């Protein structure tokens, strides 16, 4: 592939601009960055608009924008499960997470595990929640790099070998430096630029491409019939219908438990900001849903058969479909804008994820187990350093470990993350559960889920046999049910013989 | 506009309003109800525009609940 100079220049200019913005962000709404909640939560000061950009930029990552259309491009209708998934997350956000915001503000909690520690007084349960968050997020950070790699490669820069890794290394050093110095304020500020670029790009694609093709009719008529809808299940099985529904529901239950989601929510300035954003953030879902259709447009345009893209598809497989259609349909300068939107779109969530995991390590491992006497400044310093280590780890991961492992680990991450629903989400509503019971439930769900995913050759849906019919179900959701049964039964027993309810440091009025 | 005190005023849950949240879950999990091509809108099969439409409906429902509980 020849280097696309115009696109590259636009790309570099925008990248340099957001780098300055990242460093400048430390002075914005200035706070004492030697405090963890200032560095790692932006001082809990973000109002409705900034929180909208921050949480939106955090949840709808560059990888999403590449992978969801790629899934439609490859698998057809099944790939659309991202849409019902994003429909179901916002009622959950409205109902559940303002409660977490309020109790966290009252007690100075920075992470979900902080809350669990205070609510159940069980440091091992809090450790389980913390470790789950960290291991589920690590592969996610690595996948953000994939989004960047694809667009850098698509501009004609060689991405194999030592020299090829250089652009990615530079981008990550920049990211690491401004995260270290500015904390959460940096991705918050950059998210505003990034999302503006993303909105421009997506609207340009979904308007211009169907116009050139003569409307959405030709786009959908280019899709082979079996991929246009889910196959109707044969008798005796729920088939793809239950697979589709449970994938959406299970993903929705897990999403806001990821440390980077919690960090975004807790950085808001009030519970009302969170509630308001539950009604406003669906704008991003609409964007994602429309962008998903670009996967079909790529089929209709026939990018896979164009010789200039053969190399790209060979290297990045279906993930190349979005970059390919952008190159095929738009002038070079716009390619530069679109690609920088995707690349910057990788930096924002990567920054928030590394801050969130750093907060979690610092609060729930370092301070809890290694240095209980740590001062505020030591805490903040430790988090800054850990955020660097995590990013270096993601970089090493993407260079030395096959991409397939990152995808597998991300799948497992969903199965693991959902196991914290009983402790965190249900814990916000009831103190019925016993800390030890929750921990055992978590161990069972985590262990059985991991085993089943591996047994199932890393396919997310397993055909369970229930009462004579087959019910294909997202493994994460099934294992959450198992976890809930174990936690409930053991709580009934343990509450009777060795209740731990007196350990609860929170009171009902903390949850408003 | 709400002042700062308003921002932190506790929200009184209104049950009938919150029950509206059942709708998006029922609609999205009832997959067989929307796994069809017709009726198409502007060349887009039902399956696709219906699910996209629910993003908007769910957002409006959340907006209603927010208004009611404010």
CB contact under 8 A, A80 and B47: yes
CB contact under 8 A, A87 and B7: no
ipTM field:
0.93
Inter-residue contact A355 to A180 (CB < 8 Å): no
CA angle A11/A69/A190 to nearest 5° reads: 35
State both tokens at B2: 């709400």
Q: Which of residues 75-104 of A touch B (CB under 8 A)?
A: 77, 80, 83-84, 86-88, 90-91, 94-95, 98
| Burial of A510 from C-beta contacts in 10 A (0-12 / 13-18 / 19+) | middle
- State the residue range of the domain holding B37: 4-69
Report which secondary-structure segment, H or E, holds A83.
helix A82-107
As beta bridge partners, residue A461 has A474
User: In which residue are the tokens 């693991």 written?
Assistant: A416
- State the residue range of the domain holding A34: 5-230+267-403
Is the pLDDT at B3 greater than 70? The verdict is: no
Nearest by Cα to A289 from B40, B53, B24: B53
d(CA A35, CA A56): 25
d(CA A230, CA A208): 28
**Continuous H helices in A256-331:** 259-266, 271-280, 282-292, 294-301, 310-316, 321-329
CB contact under 8 A, A220 and B32: no
User: In which residue are the tokens 């004609």 written?
Assistant: A156
Strand A461-466, strand A469-474: pairing? antiparallel
pLDDT tens per residue across span A34-70:
888 889 898 898 999 999 999 998 898 878 888 899 9
Q: Is residue A430 part of a domain?
A: no
Residue of B nearest to A281 (CA): B59
pLDDT tens per residue across span A144-195:
888 888 888 888 776 566 677 788 888 888 888 888 988 998 888 888 888 8
**Continuous H helices in A362-474:** 376-400, 403-417, 421-424, 435-455
pLDDT tens per residue across span A326-382:
999 999 889 989 988 888 888 889 999 999 999 999 999 999 999 999 999 999 999
Cα distances (Å, whole numbers) of residue A474 to A57, B3, B28: 26, 45, 15
State both tokens at A302: 């026939």
What DSSP character marks residue A474?
A: E
Top residue of A88, A233, A240 to mutate, by most chain B CBs within 10 Å, is A88
What CATH number does the domain containing A71 carry? 1.20.1730.10
Number of compact structural domains in chain A: 1
CB contact under 8 A, A286 and B55: yes
CA angle A460/A464/A467 to nearest 5° reads: 160
d(CA A440, CA A159): 45
Number of compact structural domains in chain B: 1
CA distance A87 to chain B (A): 5
Q: Is residue A262 part of a domain?
A: no
Inter-residue contact A282 to A91 (CB < 8 Å): no
CB contact under 8 A, A282 and B25: no
Q: Is residue A445 part of a domain?
A: no
CB contact under 8 A, B31 and A215: no
Residues of A in contact with B68 (CB under 8 A): none
As a whole-number percent, the residues of chain A with pLDDT over 70 amount to 99
- A:B CB pairs within 8 Å: 117
Top residue of B6, B51, B61 to mutate, by most chain A CBs within 10 Å, is B51
| Residue A242 CB-half CA count within 13 A | 21
Q: Is A222 on the interface with B (CB under 8 A)?
A: no
Top residue of A44, A84, A472 to mutate, by most chain B CBs within 10 Å, is A84
Poorest-confidence range of A10-14, A106-110, A403-407, A496-500? Answer: A403-407
Q: Is residue A420 part of a domain?
A: no
């Amino acid at each position: 592939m020849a280097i696309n100079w115009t696109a590259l220049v636009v790309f570099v200019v925008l990248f340099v601009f957001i780098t300055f913005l990242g460093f400048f962000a430390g002075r914005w709404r200035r706070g004492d960055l030697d405090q963890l909640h200032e560095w790692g939560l932006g001082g809990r000061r973000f109002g409705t608009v900034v929180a909208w950009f921050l949480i939106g930029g955090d949840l709808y990552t560059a990888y999403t924008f590449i992978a969801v259309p790629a899934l439609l491009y490859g698998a057809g209708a099944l790939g659309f499960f991202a849409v019902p998934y994003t429909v179901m997350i916002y009622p959950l956000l409205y109902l559940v997470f303002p409660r977490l915001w309020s109790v966290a503000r009252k007690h100075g909690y920075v992470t979900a595990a902080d809350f669990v520690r205070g609510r159940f007084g069980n440091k091992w349960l809090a450790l389980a929640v913390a470790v789950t968050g960290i291991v589920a997020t690590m592969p996610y950070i690595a996948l953000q790099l994939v989004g960047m790699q694809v667009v850098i490669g698509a501009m004609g820069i060689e991405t194999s070998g030592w020299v090829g890794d250089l652009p990615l290394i530079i981008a990550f050093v920049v990211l690491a430096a401004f995260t270290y110095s500015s904390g959460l304020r940096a991705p918050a500020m950059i998210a505003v630029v990034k999302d503006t670029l993303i909105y421009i790009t997506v609207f340009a694609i979904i308007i211009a491409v169907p116009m050139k093709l003569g409307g959405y009719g030709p786009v959908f008529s280019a899709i082979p019939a079996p991929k246009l809808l889910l196959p109707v299940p044969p008798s005796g099985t729920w088939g793809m219908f239950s697979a589709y529904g449970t994938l959406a529901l299970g993903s929705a239950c897990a999403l806001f438990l990821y440390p980077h989601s919690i960090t975004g929510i807790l950085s808001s300035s009030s519970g009302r900001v969170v509630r308001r954003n539950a009604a406003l953030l669906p704008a991003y879902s609409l964007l994602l849903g429309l962008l998903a259709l670009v996967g079909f447009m790529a089929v209709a345009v026939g990018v896979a058969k164009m010789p200039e893209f053969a190399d790209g598809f060979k290297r990045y497989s279906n993930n190349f479909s979005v970059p390919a259609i952008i190159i095929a349909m738009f002038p070079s300068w716009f390619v530069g804008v679109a690609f920088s939107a995707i690349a910057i779109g990788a930096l924002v969530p990567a920054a928030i994820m590394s801050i969130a995991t750093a907060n979690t390590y610092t609060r729930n491992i370092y301070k809890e187990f290694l240095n209980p006497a740590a001062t505020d400044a030591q805490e903040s310093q430790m988090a800054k350093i850990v955020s660097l280590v995590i990013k270096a780890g993601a970089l090493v991961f993407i260079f030395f470990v096959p991409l397939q492992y990152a995808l597998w680990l991300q799948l497992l991450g969903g199965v693991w993350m959902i196991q914290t629903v009983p402790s965190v989400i249900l814990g916000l509503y009831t103190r019925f559960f016993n800390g030890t019971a929750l921990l055992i439930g978590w161990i069972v769900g985590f262990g059985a889920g991991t085993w089943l995913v591996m047994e199932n050759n890393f396919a997310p849906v397993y055909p369970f046999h229930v009462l004579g019919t087959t019910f294909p179900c997202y493994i994460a959701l099934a294992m959450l049910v198992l976890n809930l049964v174990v936690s409930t039964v053991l709580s009934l027993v343990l509450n009777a013989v060795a209740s731990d309810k007196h350990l609860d440091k929170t009171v009902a009025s903390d949850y408003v | 506009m709400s002042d700062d005190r308003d921002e932190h005023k506790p929200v009184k849950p209104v049950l009938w309003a919150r029950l509206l949240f059942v709708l998006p879950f029922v609609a999205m999990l009832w997959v067989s109800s929307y796994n069809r091509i017709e009726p198409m809108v502007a060349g887009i099969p039902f399956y696709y525009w219906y699910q996209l439409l629910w993003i908007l409906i769910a957002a409006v429902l959340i907006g209603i609940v927010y208004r009611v509980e404010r």
